[in-house]
Amino acid sequence: MSKLVRRARAHAGRVSELDVNVVELFGFGPMGATITAVRNGEGDLQLIKWNVVGNGALIECVGRASGGVASEIATIVVHSHLVVAVKNGEGKLEVSSWTQDLLRQGSASKEGASQIAICPFSSESSPDFFATAHRDAKGNLKVDVWSLSATGAPKWRGGAFAGAVSEVTLAYLGFGTGLRYRFISAVRNANGELELIQWAASGDGATLQRLGSITAGSATQISLRTLGDLVFTSLRNSAGNLEIISWRAHSNGLIDRLDTARAGSACGVSSTLSFDVSGAQFLTTAVRNTADELELIDWLVYSSGTLQRSSSVVAGKGSLACIRTAWNSQNPGAVNPAPHSVLVTALCDEASNLELNSWTRQ
């Protein structure tokens, strides 16, 4: 069975102990590009572009840009634009778009917001759609659909509300599963429980409908990933331990619980999906363990939703661990990664500096 091996390490300047977000970019030249979006030491949004070279053997910083005051950050790629959603200096949700060279293109803002999340959302009429979710000023969940113009200007399309929440995550449900125009939110509800809600949007994004929902036990630090109609929530349970639950979303709105896996004490939960050289599917969780070390745990994922722990590795002390699939070493321009993806972890090290590590499987 393959295991994760660290390939390279790189550092940048001081970051705030509030937000470290990592987003992968596909198809921007022969090398994989990764963006870290952080709140810097002055409290402002800072974007740093890195190239991940030689199957993860080298990480190079190749560009920087700064935005305004930001206390929460969420990022995705919408075709050729990086889209960043933040809680700005006025406490409002602000959405901005940036080119691959980190030039700001356009922005729009809405009401007061916290616990901001963002995910892709594709429509036949407009492939440049995306969704955001946040906790509004009344403490309730608000989900919005946006479009992005050819010049990078974000435009609000429609929205919907749900009940009281204290954590918010969001993910897109894939094509080929009868789940077109669908996405899912995983939140910590008013009872402190994990709650999944499936949403359906109209083709123009103007109308959102809440479909089925399901709850599990007490949860904090929720991380959400999707693979077609499979949904994976990684979280810190009531015992303070890492817990991963797999689910299947159906076109009628129902969500079935499939499998549960657990590990030891964990903080700062993050997760990503990737493949190894054999084509096997993995969910990788990154946590801070009881020794204050970054610990990566690989879980083998079967098409049934069954989870099997494969291997784990630790890599120094730090906090704010975030893990993402950075690029594909065999075909970096691919929309859907083929085997042998490179993983990148971002963390705040003991000196409060941003540290990136690249990982592959051997």
Q: 237 pLDDT band (50/70/90 cuts)? A: very high
- Note the Cα 315 to chain centre separation in Å: 21
Q: 9 pLDDT band (50/70/90 cuts)? A: very high
The three state secondary structure string of the chain is CCCEEEEEEEEEEEEEEEEEEEEEECCCCCCEEEEEEEEECCCEEEEEEEEEECCCCEEEEEEEEEEEEEEEEEEEEECCEEEEEEEECCCEEEEEEECCCCCEEEEEEEEECEEEEEEEECCCCCCCEEEEEEECCCCEEEEEEEEECCCCCEEEEEEEEEEEEEEEEEEECCCCCCCCCEEEEEEEECCCEEEEEEEEECCCCCCEEEEEEEEEEEEEEEEEEEECCEEEEEEEECCCEEEEEEEEECCCCCEEEEEEEEEEECEEEEEEEEECCCCCEEEEEEEECCCCEEEEEEEEECCCCCEEEEEEEEEEECEEEEEEEEEECCCCCCCCCCCCEEEEEEEECCCCEEEEEEEEEC
**How are beta strands 44-53 and 104-112 bridged, if at all?**
unpaired
List Cα–Cα distances, 166 to 16, 70, 116, in angstroms: 21, 19, 11
- What is the structure's pLDDT at 97? 96
The arrangement of strands across the sheet holding 81-88 comes to 104-112, 92-98, 81-88, 58-78, 44-53, 32-40, 4-25, 353-361, 341-348, 319-328
| pLDDT top residue among 160 and 317 | 160
What are the sequence ranges of the domains in the chain? 4-361
The class of domain 4-361 in CATH terms is mainly beta
Q: 328 pLDDT band (50/70/90 cuts)? A: very low
The arrangement of strands across the sheet holding 307-317 comes to 267-275, 281-288, 293-301, 307-317
pLDDT in tens, 83-103: 999 999 999 999 999 998 999
Averaged pLDDT, 323-347:
62
Averaged pLDDT, 288-312:
94
pLDDT over 60 (residue 358) = yes
Q: Evaluate whether 295 touches 4 at the Cβ level (below 8 Å).
A: no
- What is the structure's pLDDT at 333? 38
| pLDDT top residue among 351 and 88 | 88
| pLDDT top residue among 276 and 184 | 184
- Note the Cα 330 to chain centre separation in Å: 23
Instruction: Kindly report the pTM of this predicted structure.
Output: 0.93
Q: 178 pLDDT band (50/70/90 cuts)? A: low
What share of the chain has pLDDT > 90, as a percent? 62
Provide the 10 A C-beta neighbour count for residue 335: 8
